[in-house]
Each structure stands twice: as structure tokens, then as C-alpha cells.
Amino acid sequence: MPLEFGLWRVDDKPVRVTTRPMPLESRLEELIEADPGILGQPLLLIGRQVTTQYGKVVDLLGMDAEGGLHVLELKRDRTPREVVAQVLDYGSWVLELTNEQIRDIYTAYARGRGLAEELDEAFALRFGGSPPEALNSTHALTIVASEIDAATERIVTYLASGFQLPVNVLFFRYFEDEGRSYLARTWLIDEAEAVVPSAGAKGRGKQEPWNGTDWYVSFGDESGSRSWDDALHYGFVSAGGGEWFSRTMRSLPLGARVFTHIPKVGYVGVGTVAGEPQPFEDAALTIDGESRRLADLPLEGTYRRAEESAERDGEDRREWIVPITWERAVPREEALWRPGFFANQNSACKLRARFTIDEVSRHFGVIDGSTDD
């Protein structure tokens, strides 16, 4: 049974505050939209009154920090079968939403509120980081109500506890006292006992499509090690210090377009892979039309050589160099960074983040590629 609670004003003697019906469902929507924290968990709202492909309308659609989707349906004066069947129908729709469809839903929502920000920016502002590559790998269904009857309670508990479906009821109590209004909440199924959001779409988590060309490169510009000034001037990216760091860098294919990022600084260049990966001591770059050994050039940084990589564990710690023809590259001080930009710990990986590709390309004045599934 849900926890029943009351509210007392205790300025002098205890006076119980009267529970009132919520004036309108739309008013509760507005309150949740203004502060999703009312729901008791961090959420980014991405849609309000969202029409499904079946012609139904979802009251509120949210996203959590893992990219999972949350259906929030506000109900009054509905029979048990209607309220539960409807929210399950919405779940079947959410399950199939693609990355692009989710972004379109947010774009329409943001434009309707007069916002120009993209989903990636809003996600970063809400959760402090870029969204995961796979959105909608889980989803949760929440019925928001002031009260439900015993049959609805039995059905929801049966589905959640017996079949691990991610459905729950969030109760709101609305109080008025001397011209002031208050909200209080409680769950049908305690949050600590609630099932993990549905993993029905896990493994099918919706990624942005990759265009087959763009790659992300993390360039560790570090004091006493590699230098971005060298990479900018002579045309290369590099990684080393261990197999984990160099393996992905060595996988960059000839002709790939790389978006180069200095961790905790920003994007500093876009260019094209112009040669095969080589260890530092063997690496040759074309300088003013002439092939020159990188090791013979005047360098700001230091790079681990083969004879320095014979560590006790036998791991290859050499610096691996990948020649790059820069389309546009800038000094570290002119790096570009915006909330929601893609960044991760891999030295190199496929870049699917359309927001990052578009904004970095626009800023640096480079031609963007087309996106194919």
C-alpha cells in the first residue's frame, strides 16, 4: 500500500492542513516542467504533449543521466484498465524510438519554449556531461495521480513485482493553507524496491548513425610529454604510454577525417589522415614537400622511443605517430568547447555526435560530410 501522510501547521497548536484536489492536470504538468526535481530524481524533460505514431499523446517525456527515457502520464477519473493499458501502450512506442527521433522530439519541445539549444547542450547543462552514444537503452513508465483504486494498485504491483516491468505510480498530495499551496509526494512501490528500468531495448540502444568518415582523436598535450605545438606545426596526432592508449590511434584508417580534442581544453583541429601509423623513431612527415624524420625535427615535446619502452611488464609503450593534413587547426589558446560536445578517454574512436561535428565544422569553416546509416 502507498504511504498515506498528512500535513500539520504547528505555529501554535497543531492544525491539520486540508488536502485539496489538484485544480487541473495541466497545472501539475507546469509544475513538473518548471522543476523536474519534484519527481524525486534528476531528469531532463525532452517533450510535453508528445504525439505518438498511434495518435495518442504522452503528457511528459523525460531522460535520465544514462540516456534512458521516462514516460510520465498524469491521470484523473480513469478506470484501472484504461490507465494501465495506456501507459503500457506508450511504453511500446518509446521502445522503438531511434536516436534521431528522440532528438527531433527534443528539438520541437525546445523550439516551442523559445530555446535554441540542442539536446547535447541541454543534457550537459542538466547532468554535467555529454549524453551517452546510445540513447533509450532503458525506459520507465510512471503514472502520476492523486489517488488510484485498489484494482489499479494490484495491477501495477503485479506487473512490476511479478514481471519486472518498469511501471510505478507516483502519488501527489495537494494542500492549501492560508492562501499558500503545497505539494507532497510518495510512490506506490518504494523506490528502493522498484525494478530497474526496462532493458527491453538494451543492446538496441539507439546510437546516432556514423558517416563512415569522421573520427574523434584525444591529444594529450602534457608538460614533459607530447606537445600540441609540434602536432599543429608539423601535421600529426599521436598517443603512447601503453597498449590501451596507442591501440585505437593505430586503428585510424587512411583518409579518415579526425576532430582533434585536447582533454579539458577543447577542439583544436580538423584534418585528414595522410599516412600509416608509425612508431616515433620511424615516423616520417612531409614538410615543405620533403620527407623528414620526425625525430630529426626541432620539437617542443618529448616522445617515447622503442628503446625506452622495454618496461618490466613488456608492454609496448612507444609513441605512435599518425600523419595528418590539417584542414584547419588552431593553437591551444583558441580551442573550441561548448557544453554537450563529445569527449571520452579513448585516444581515437568513431565520431557519431552530430552536434559536435556540426558545431566544430561550422566554427572552423570546414565542409561537413553527409551522414549515412
Distances (CA, A) of 294 to 183, 227, 229, 282, 322: 67, 13, 14, 8, 11
Rounded-to-integer distance, Cα 39 and Cα 18, Å: 22
Tell me the average pLDDT of the chain: 87
Judged against a pLDDT cut of 80, whether residue 202 lies above it is answered with: no
What angle in degrees, to the nearest 10, is found between the helix axes of 119-127 and 354-364? 110
The gap between the terminal CA atoms of the chain, to the nearest Å, is 48
Pick from 319, 213, 336: nearest CA to 269 = 336
Pick from 64, 65, 216, 205: nearest CA to 133 = 205
Number of Cα atoms under 13 Å in the Cβ half of residue 306: 7
Confidence of residue 308 (pLDDT cuts 50, 70, 90): low
Lowest mean pLDDT among 14-23, 133-142, 232-241: 14-23
Rounded-to-integer distance, Cα 215 and Cα 237, Å: 12
Q: Is residue 282 helix, strand or coil?
A: helix
Cβ proximity of 231 and 332 under 8 Å: no
Helices (runs of H) and strands (runs of E) counted in the chain: 9, 20
Predicted TM-score (pTM) of this structure: 0.75
At 231, which helix (H) or strand (E)? helix 228-234
Pick from 212, 206, 238, 234: nearest CA to 225 = 238
254 backbone φψ class: left, alpha, beta (φ>0; ψ -120 to 50): beta
Q: What letter represents residue 192's amino acid?
A: A
Per residue in 251-280, pLDDT tens? 899 999 999 999 999 999 999 999 999 999
**Would the CA dihedral through 324, 329, 333, 334 be positive or negative?**
negative
Distances (CA, A) of 76 to 39, 166, 193: 18, 21, 26
pLDDT of res. 329: 97
Rounded-to-integer distance, Cα 227 and Cα 332, Å: 10
Number of Cα atoms under 13 Å in the Cβ half of residue 210: 13
CB 239: neighbour CB atoms within 10 A?
Answer: 25
Cα angle, residue 256 at apex, residues 274 and 342 outer, rounded to 5°: 125
Confidence of residue 373 (pLDDT cuts 50, 70, 90): very low
Lowest mean pLDDT among 9-18, 50-59, 268-277, 290-299: 9-18
pLDDT of res. 198: 58
Per residue in 95-146, pLDDT tens? 999 999 999 999 999 999 998 789 999 999 999 888 888 899 999 999 988 7
Q: What letter represents residue 267's amino acid?
A: Y
